[in-house]
């Protein structure tokens, strides 16, 4: 089964080796990525491809609607390993316009477990209900909620004790908020980068 994927895998590995015979042998020794990507599971938002990085260059955590919930052991394990062991210099929280997870959080329909997972987005929606209500279309409200969710997750990451402790010991670490556009393949930097505890307070 899945022979077409195994064929594609063998062709991909051969292409890598043709371009750089030592490629996989070097990666076998260690990984030293400079970036942690926290993004949505959506198949249209493939982390490495979007920023054109090779295996070994990007540490990745993805879940529905790119959340960084401070009680989620999966996300926290990734964050701690990235910050304390790999010592990444940049963490990007990457949302995307047209995110079905963000829409599902606030459409009032019941889906089961995912409704609990998406709860933090309903809180963001409530906290910004006046700003959102003032926008003139559902599309504009959806786009803005995607951005507001990214900003909230940047705050979660930057206020986490692993990140706070890294800054306290003088480690260089920047937390960025990006939004990806499905329709043109481009990333938009929301300009909410946090590089230390003072900036988080601001």
- The catalytic residues are 40, 42, 44, 96, 99
The CB-of-202 to Co ion minimum distance in angstroms stands at 29
Binding-site member from 42, 143, 147, 160 for Co ion (CB under 5 A) = 42
Binding-site member from 38, 47, 61, 101 for Co ion (CB under 5 A) = 101
The SS3 assignment for 104 reads helix
- Rank residues 40 and 148 by Cβ distance to Co ion and give the closer one: 40
Binding part of the chain for Co ion, among 98-106, 113-121, 150-158, 166-174 by CB under 5 A, reads: 98-106
Would you count residue 143 as binding Co ion (CB under 5 A)?
Answer: no
- Rank residues 118 and 166 by Cβ distance to Co ion and give the closer one: 118
Binding-site member from 38, 47, 91, 99 for Co ion (CB under 5 A) = 99
**What single string gives the DSSP state of each residue in 124-157?**
HHHHTHHHHHTSSSHHHHHHHHHHHHHHHHHHHH
Instruction: Write a three-state SS string for 50-81.
Output: HCCCCCCCEEEEEECCCCCCCCCHHHHHHHHH
The CB-of-177 to Co ion minimum distance in angstroms stands at 15
Residues 22-41 that bind Co ion (CB under 5 A): 40
- Rank residues 16 and 62 by Cβ distance to Co ion and give the closer one: 62
Q: In terms of Cα–Cα distance, which of 195, 72, 94 is closest to 149?
A: 94
Size of the site for Co ion (CB under 5 A): 4
Would you count residue 150 as binding Co ion (CB under 5 A)?
Answer: no
- Rank residues 40 and 83 by Cβ distance to Co ion and give the closer one: 40
φ, ψ for residue 77, nearest 5 deg: -65, -40
Binding part of the chain for Co ion, among 13-21, 52-60, 94-102, 154-162 by CB under 5 A, reads: 94-102
What count of Cα atoms within 13 Å lies in the side-chain half-sphere of residue 110?
A: 1
Instruction: Write a three-state SS string for 11-56.
Output: HHHHHHHHHCCCHHHHHHHCCCCCEEEEEECCCCCCHHHHCCCCCC
Site residues for Co ion per CB under 5 A: 40, 42, 99, 101
């Amino acid at each position: 089964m899945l022979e077409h994927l195994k064929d594609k895998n063998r062709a991909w590995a051969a292409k890598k080796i043709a371009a750089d015979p030592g490629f996989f042998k070097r990666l076998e020794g260690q990984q030293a990525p400079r970036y942690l990507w926290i993004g949505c599971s959506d198949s249209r938002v493939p982390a490495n491809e979007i920023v054109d990085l090779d295996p070994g260059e990007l540490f990745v955590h993805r879940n529905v609607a790119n959340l960084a919930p401070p009680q989620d052991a999966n996300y926290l394990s990734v964050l701690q390993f990235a910050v304390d062991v790999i010592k990444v210099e940049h963490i990007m929280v990457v949302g995307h316009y047209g995110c079905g997870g963000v829409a599902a959080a606030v459409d009032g329909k019941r889906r089961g477990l995912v409704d609990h997972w998406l709860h933090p987005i309903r809180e963001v929606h409530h906290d910004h209900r006046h700003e959102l209500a003032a926008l003139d279309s559902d599309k504009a409200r959806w786009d803005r909620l995607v951005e507001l969710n990214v900003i909230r997750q940047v705050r979660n990451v930057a206020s986490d004790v692993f990140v706070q402790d890294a800054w306290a010991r003088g480690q260089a670490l920047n937390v960025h908020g990006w939004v990806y556009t499905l329709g043109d393949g481009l990333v938009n930097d929301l300009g909410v980068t946090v590089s230390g505890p003072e900036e988080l307070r601001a």
